Amino acid sequence: MDLYHRHSQHSDTRSGRECVFCSTLDPDFSARRPIDRMVMVKREDSASAHLTEDGYIRHRIVELKKKRVVTMPAVLAKSA
């Protein structure tokens, strides 16, 4: 390959799709840049499958928020 053509890094948006996990659980998903929404096609919806570092970090934040909601006990009502 000559110097005027880039080497394929397999991170083009053509090889990506939107992360279903983030799209269903992140209320700010539509505010993300389009490239930050994308994950690699052949991988599951995980943080490491995101094409950008910002997408990875936002995915992890959503995972941690979900985990916190599940692990926090429900607030008990005071009895008399």
What is the model's pTM? 0.69
Report the percentage of the chain scoring pLDDT > 70: 72
Please check the confidence at residue 16 and state whether its pLDDT lies above 80.
Answer: yes
pLDDT digits (tens, 9 = 90+) for 55-76: 999 999 999 999 888 776 666 5
Tell me, what's the pLDDT at 70? 75
Average pLDDT over residues 9-26: 80
Number of neighbouring beta carbons within 10 Å of residue 22 = 24
User: Which residues lie closer than 8 Å to 15 by C-beta, 6 or more apart?
Assistant: 40, 41
Distance, in Å, from the CA atom of 48 to the CA atom of 35, rounded to the nearest integer, reads 14
